[in-house]
Amino acid sequence: METKRKGLTILTRLQVIKRDKCTCQVCGKRGIFFYRYGKPAVGFTDGSYPFHQGEGYNGPGIEVFEFHHVKPIFLGGYNELDNIQLTCRKCNRGMGYLTEEYTEIQQLKKELAGES
């Protein structure tokens, strides 16, 4: 029997956004905090619509950042802070399915940089 995947709680979303400082953890692109469909989000504007921190805009010209599971749910990952990072859409969609080896490499890099 297939179980429905649980979404991230609002608290988890806010904790990830705060920890990652509204920044893509892959390429370093900075976004701004806003509400999208009533949920906390981070986005980047191409300039066609100047939105401001905390504003609830969902229209064109906004690239919404995504919450990336370091270890995918289908490989036994979970919705906890140590398995989620903020990424821009381009980076998240470009990563696809990552191997556990890549995940281990990323974790070791963080530990060596003192970010563990």
pLDDT single digits (tens) 91-114: 888 776 555 666 677 778 788 888
pLDDT band at 59; cut points 50, 70, 90? low
Q: What is the pLDDT of residue 1?
A: 46
The proportion of the chain whose per-residue pLDDT surpasses 70, expressed as a percent, equals 72
Task: Note whether 12 and 79 are within 8 A (CB).
Answer: yes
What pLDDT, in 10s, does the model give residues 70-84? 888 877 889 999 999
What is the distance between the alpha carbons of residues 58 and 55, in angstroms, rounded to a whole number? 10
pTM, entire model = 0.69
Kindly report the average pLDDT of the chain as a whole number.
Answer: 78
Separation between Cα atoms, residue 57 and residue 51, nearest integer Å: 7
Domain boundaries of the chain, sorted by first residue: 10-112
Q: How far is CA 38 from CA 58, 93, 98, 99, in A?
A: 11, 23, 30, 33
Arithmetic mean of pLDDT, 48-74: 69
Average pLDDT over residues 79-90: 92
Mean pLDDT for 16-22 is 94
Query: Rounded to the nearest 10 degrees, how much is the dihedral formed by the CA atoms of 27, 36, 79, 74?
Result: -80
